[in-house]
């Protein structure tokens, strides 16, 4: 049930992306080929320009503009960012192959450090930076690279790849051929450097003017903790239930150690916010010992998963696992605060009953909402008469409403989400009625 506004926005975004990614090629058409080269020369140059502009566009996708994600969803934007890297690598490698096909032997010799003429060396280094970036991203988990270490290398490698690429194009290509082309490239370069500054400098500066404080810390089941956050000296922000924020804790928002967390509280109860966070790694484990009074910085809200995107649904179905319950909780709490009367269903997978986050809170919500909660336990206690094992198509078929038009939300561990999304499609749920949010952006 996406609205016409959402579809128009999606179309406009895709059109703008294609235009911005391709405009260097349009410029190329207006610039004379330096060696009066033939088709291979033209095509090879075009590939080089395309590689640089696609690389630069990667910065737009991750510059955290609140308005970029809807109507796609932040996880989809990041998935697009990851997949487009494949195109960038392919185009970057094809560029020298097409240009130098006739003298490939000599060109291979340039791969030996110090052998290439310096206008070519910058291009070779740009390609190495790009390959390092792609390999560390694709194989981060297999290489056991800690997320923060990966992140610290990712930005500099990306900036190096684009800067060296532009430098190479300036020296070896036809960028200097006409002043107008030169100026447009300069503006383009400054534009994406501006995007880097936006995330690393201007955003933290803006956050510093709007501090938050942890006013309460509540232990939850399953090694989770709820941080209650209050704005200090400002009135917070409005959000749509189901959205998330980037949280930085500690004295400075410049720490570049922000983590994404869904808002757990009701959108009606703002400006106070609650984040419920499961301990899985260094940062989240540290939260178990955070004390009230800790300064916090919140960048957001972001994300497109919300019941508010489907206001006319006959009811909502949430399929959650583990900490994926958090955005569902915000949506259910908001619906309860609004006095919603429609029937809702929550299918909620957990390992064991006593480690199920929000078990009591959900029972309490069921008295305020027409809400059925189906717990699915991997290891149920003795005498358990409810669902057990994993969320499967057969299980969904047993519980999903068979009448009316519902909106479906899926959030949880990757494998659970894959099964649920596939099962919903097989059970005939239209893609347009489904919204999911993946917690692993990279």
Ligand X SMILES: Cc1cc2nc3c(=O)[nH]c(=O)nc-3n(C[C@H](O)[C@H](O)[C@H](O)COP(=O)(O)OP(=O)(O)OC[C@H]3O[C@@H](n4cnc5c(N)ncnc54)[C@H](O)[C@@H]3O)c2cc1C
Q: What does the alpha-carbon distance between residue 55 and residue 155 come to, in Å, rounded to a whole number?
A: 12
Using DSSP's 3-state secondary structure scheme, residue 219 falls into: strand
168 vs 278 by CB, closer to ligand X: 278
Torsion, CA 389, CA 390, CA 396, CA 398, rounded to 10: -10
Q: Which of 315, 433, 432 is nearest to 372 (CA)?
A: 315
Do 217 and 226 meet the contact criterion of CB atoms below 8 Å apart?
A: yes
Instruction: Enumerate residues 6+ apart whose C-beta is below 8 A from 242.
Output: 262, 303, 305, 306, 307, 308, 327, 328, 330, 331, 409, 437
Q: Are 35 and 41 in contact (CB under 8 A)?
A: yes
Phi/psi of residue 259, nearest 5 degrees: -125, 145
The distance of closest approach from Cβ of residue 2 to ligand X in the complex, given in angstroms and rounded to an integer, is: 20
Provide the minimum distance between the beta carbon of 244 and ligand X in the complex, in angstroms, as a whole number. Answer: 4
Q: Residue 109: what are its φ and ψ, rounded to 5°?
A: -60, -30
CB of 275 to ligand X, least distance (A): 6
Q: Do strands 407-411 and 316-321 pair parallel, antiparallel, or not at all (unpaired)?
A: parallel
Shortest distance, position 133 Cβ to ligand X, whole Å = 17
250 and 313 Cβ atoms separated by less than 8 Å = no
Q: Which residue is nearest to ligand X (CB)?
A: 281
Helix residue ranges per DSSP H, 62-117: 74-99, 104-109
Cβ neighbors of 284 (< 8 A, separation 6 or more) are 259, 277, 278
CB of 249 to ligand X, least distance (A): 12
Q: Using DSSP, state whether 231 is helix, strand or coil.
A: strand
Nearer Cβ to ligand X, position 263 or 391? 263
For residues 125-135, one letter each, b for 16 or more C-beta atoms within 10 angstroms of the residue's C-beta and e for the rest, the string is bbbebbeebbe
Q: Which is nearer to ligand X, 231 or 322 (CB)?
A: 322
Q: Which is nearer to ligand X, 22 or 76 (CB)?
A: 76
Q: Which of residues 75 and 387 has its CB atom nearest to ligand X in the complex?
A: 75
Given the complex with ligand X, which of 246 and 310 has the nearer CB atom? Answer: 246
Of 135 and 280, the one with the shorter C-beta distance to ligand X is 280
Q: Rounded to the nearest whole angstrom, what is the least distance from the CB of residue 110 to ligand X in the complex?
A: 37
Cβ of residue 258: shortest distance to ligand X, in angstroms?
Answer: 6
Q: Shortest approach of ligand X to residue 150 CB, angstroms?
A: 9
CB-based burial, 321-332: b 16+ in 10 Å, e otherwise: bbbbbbbbbbbb
Give whichever of 31 and 227 is closer to ligand X, judged by the CB atom.
227
Site residues, ligand X (CB under 6 A):
74, 147, 244, 259-262, 276-278, 280-284, 323, 326, 437, 439-442
Residue 59 or 244 having the CB closest to ligand X: 244
Three-state SS string over 399-427 comes to: HCCCCCCCEEEEECCHHHHHHHHHHHHHC
Task: Give the ranges where 179-300 is alpha helix by DSSP (H).
Answer: 179-197, 203-208, 282-286
CB of 437 to ligand X, least distance (A): 6
Pick the closer one to ligand X by CB: 99 or 249: 249
Minimum CB–partner distance for residue 193 and ligand X (Å): 23
């Amino acid at each position: 049930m996406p609205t016409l506004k959402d579809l128009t926005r999606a179309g406009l975004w895709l059109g703008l992306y294609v235009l911005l990614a391709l405009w260097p090629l349009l410029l190329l058409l207006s610039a004379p080929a330096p060696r009066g080269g033939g088709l291979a020369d033209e095509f090879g140059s075009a590939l080089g320009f395309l590689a640089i502009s696609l690389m630069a566009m990667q910065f737009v996708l991750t510059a955290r503009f609140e308005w970029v994600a809807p109507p796609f969803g932040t996880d989809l934007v990041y998935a697009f960012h990851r997949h487009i890297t494949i195109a960038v690598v392919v185009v970057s490698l094809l560029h020298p192959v097409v240009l130098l096909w006739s003298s490939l032997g000599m060109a291979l010799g340039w791969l030996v450090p110090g052998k290439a003429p310096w206008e070519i060396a910058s291009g070779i280094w740009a390609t190495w930076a790009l390959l390092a970036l792609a390999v560390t991203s694709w194989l981060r988990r297999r290489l056991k690279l800690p997320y923060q270490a990966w992140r610290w290398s990712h930005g500099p490698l990306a900036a190096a790849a684009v800067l060296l690429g532009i430098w190479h194009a300036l020296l070896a290509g036809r960028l200097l051929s006409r002043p107008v082309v030169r100026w447009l490239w300069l503006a383009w370069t400054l534009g994406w450097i501006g995007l880097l500054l936006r995330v690393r400098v201007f955003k933290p500066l803006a956050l510093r003017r709007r501090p938050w404080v942890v006013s309460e810390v509540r232990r939850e089941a399953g090694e989770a903790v709820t941080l209650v956050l209050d704005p200090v000296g400002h009135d917070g922000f409005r959000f749509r239930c189901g959205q998330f924020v980037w949280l930085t804790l500690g004295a400075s928002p410049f720490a570049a150690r922000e983590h994404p967390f869904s808002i757990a509280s009701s959108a009606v109860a703002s400006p106070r916010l609650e984040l419920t966070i499961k301990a899985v790694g260094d940062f989240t484990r540290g939260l178990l010992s955070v004390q009230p009074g800790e300064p916090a910085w919140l960048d957001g809200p972001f994300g497109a998963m919300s019941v508010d995107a489907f206001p006319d649904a006959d009811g909502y179905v949430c399929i959650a696992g583990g900490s994926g319950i958090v955005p569902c909780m915000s949506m259910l709490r908001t619906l309860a605060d609004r006095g919603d009367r429609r029937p809702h269903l929550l299918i909620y997978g957990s390992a064991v009953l006593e480690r199920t986050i929000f078990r009591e809170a959900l029972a309490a919500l069921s008295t305020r909402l027409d809400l059925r909660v189906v717990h699915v336990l991997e290891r149920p206690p003795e005498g358990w008469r409810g669902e057990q094992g994993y969320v499967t198509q057969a299980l969904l078929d047993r519980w999903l409403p068979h009448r009316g038009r519902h909106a479906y939300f899926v959030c949880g561990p990757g494998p659970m989400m894959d099964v649920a999304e596939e099962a919903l499609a097989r059970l005939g749920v239209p893609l347009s009625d489904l919204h999911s949010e993946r917690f692993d952006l990279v």
